[in-house]
Structure 1
Amino acid sequence: MSAVDTLRATFRRRSATEQPGAAMTFTDHLRELRRRSVRAVIAMALGTVVAWLAYEPIFTWLVAPYSDVKPVLAAQGIDTSLVFTGIGGAFQFQLKVSLVAGFVLASPWWIWQVWAYVVPALHHGEKRAALKLSVICAPLFLGGAWFGYLLLPRAIEFLVGFVPQNAESLLTGADYLDFSLRIMLVFAVAAQLPVVIVMLHQLGLITAPQLVHARPWIITGIFAFSGIATPTVDPVTMAMLAMPMVVLYGVAEVIVRVRERRGAVATDATL
């Protein structure tokens, strides 16, 4: 089947689900996509406004890891400060923080818009699988981001600790925001490992024996990824990222084994 035929079949499936007996044209789908995109953008804009109004507590939460590590660095003879350079530095920082927070606050709504647009094009079994993955992805993503946030003081202490004594470290707001978001994003993405493995198994691309055989190579790749992805180069932070990923890989391996065992039992029952 060509790509065009696949696209037409998808539209027919959406039409049969959303409007039984009626066919939606390509233009109708573009209109629906635009309508849901506008809704998602409006939700993000409203979330940004709310985050702008609640900037003070958000700022306090964001810089808490930095504030916690300052006394430790001061005891080592290192004076460090969070500064805003330029006339508009503080404004740009508040705007970026509000945009990111607004994106997160509006995530339930814009994710629902994506879901509502895609689901009608799926079969019943595909809907169930997609719903399960969506339910699992969100907690793992948030949990990974929170774990990265908890490790921020350790990462800041390690990197700023290289500043010589009697020297002052000035960290701009933009650099701190980029660094903290990168740490949290790396851990959030890494937490999706079991979802990726289960999804590949769902598509029939991997099996449990293949996972067992590839385990040493996967673990090696996890540690290599941890060394490259973490902004710091200390082994502690790398291990704090790698070890949970290894555990999550083991969990995914167990899930795949259980799924294959259930499938084998179901097959034997039908014979």
Structure 2
Amino acid sequence: MKLALRRQGPTKFQQASDGSMTLIDHIRELRNRLFIASLGLIVGLIIGFIVSQPVFHLLEQPYCRLPSSIAINADGTPYCDWVVLNVTDTLILRLKIALWVGLIVGSPVWLYQLWAFIAPGLHRHERKWAYVFVAIAAPLFAAGGVLAYFVVGHSLAFIMEAGVLGEATKLEVSSYVGFVTNMILIFGVAFEFPLILLMLNFTGVVSAKKLLSWWRIVVFLSFAFAAIATPDPGPFGMTLLALCMVVLYLIATGVAALNDRRKGRKEEIYAELDDDQISPLEEERVPVGAFDPVEAPSPIEAPEPVARPRPLEGRFDDMT
């Protein structure tokens, strides 16, 4: 006797795609996916708490390279010295680092749950391009984070020595880690800028020629964004971020040009025509012949008389 192992009926994905899933089923599915995503975040948080100490040692390296951060123990061994203002700062800082690491470690779980809930509402080609853009977004964000770490290592001494005191001093540990994580976040988000341009081009909103014509605006906005959003007040970090955004804009424009050539959209069809120019189409006049005769309308029969309604006592019983 053979057992039927094949699942009967449509899957949840098929029901959400064809619209046969009810509102209660959607809410139940959202609840289940939020529960699974929260489990992934909890597991990532536990792993982040375990590895938070090595991550902190990695983040403190730019500061520990400064001569002002080095102190000497009683036995003569040097160590990296910090300023701690509150009793709970070190524990809260470890929890913050664990949360950041947990979001990264648990991202495959909660991103998949988010995608599984949204994907049924997309078309097949939209899902295909979503895979491509997500695959590009992760390396771009990582590249921005690495660049931010490099910027902090080279501009930290300048920031401290250019201040009022004129020399590098010891830093408070919570503010320093917040400064580094904000730099990584800002640089990572800024590196996603070319994906927005590519999405506009691949969806047919703008062409590569139109994108290239915006180069003055893009250069100005890149430097303005770098000056406002970057926590680093020094010129090194802001200039490097703005230049990277301009380079990524040029790369995105080149990819958009290749996409336009592949689709045959080298230039707009009516790009060289004036708005007031008369259409070059020749006027074609077709003579109008005699119209067909209209038949006489047929008479409408008189309506039948409506029967007199029964009294209320005869239409309902004692139950109705």
For the aligned pair, the TM-score class normalised by the smaller chain equals 0.7 to 0.9
Whole-angstrom distance in 2 between the partners of 1:172 and 1:16:
51
Whole-angstrom distance in 1 between the partners of 2:58 and 2:67:
17
Change (3 A) 1:88 1:19: closer
- What residue in structure 2 maps to residue 258 of structure 1? 258
- What residue in structure 2 maps to residue 131 of structure 1? 131
- What residue in structure 1 maps to residue 20 of structure 2? 23
Highest CA radius of gyration, 1 or 2?
2
Q: 3-state SS of the aligned residue for 2:86?
A: coil
Change (3 A) 1:20 1:42: closer
Mapping of residues 5-84 of structure 1, within 5 Å: 17-18=14-15, 23-68=20-65, 70-71=66-67, 81-84=81-84
Q: 3-state SS of the aligned residue for 1:205?
A: coil
- What residue in structure 2 maps to residue 198 of structure 1? 198
Gaps of 5+ in 2: 1-10, 71-79, 267-320
Mapping of residues 73-222 of structure 1, within 5 Å: 81-161=81-161, 162-164=163-165, 169-222=169-222
Once structures 1 and 2 are overlaid, which stretch shifts more, 45-54 or 167-176? 167-176
| C-alpha contact 2:141 2:189 (8 A) present in aligned 1 | yes
TM-score normalised to the size of structure 1?
0.83
Identity rate of aligned residues, in percent? 30
- CA shift, 1:168, in A, is 7.4
Q: Choose between structure 1 and 2: higher helix proportion.
A: 1
Query: What root-mean-square deviation, in Å, do the aligned CA atoms of Structure 1 and Structure 2 show?
Result: 2.5
Q: What's the CA shift string for 1:216-248, capped at 9, x where partnerless?
A: 121111111111121223222112111111111
Change (3 A) 1:29 1:73: same
Q: 3-state SS of the aligned residue for 1:171?
A: coil
Whole-angstrom distance in 2 between the partners of 1:216 and 1:20:
43
Q: What's the CA shift string for 1:86-142, capped at 9, x where partnerless?
A: 121111111111111111111122111111111122111111111111111111111
Change (3 A) 1:220 1:15: same
- CA shift, 1:16, in A, is 6.8
Q: What's the CA shift string for 1:45-85, capped at 9, x where partnerless?
A: 111111112222111111112112x12788xxxxx952222
| C-alpha contact 1:15 1:23 (8 A) present in aligned 2 | no
Change (3 A) 1:86 1:219: same
Whole-angstrom distance in 2 between the partners of 1:94 and 1:232:
23
- How many residues end up aligned between the 2 structures? 246
| C-alpha contact 2:200 2:206 (8 A) present in aligned 1 | yes
TM-score normalised to the size of structure 2?
0.71
- CA shift, 1:204, in A, is 2.7
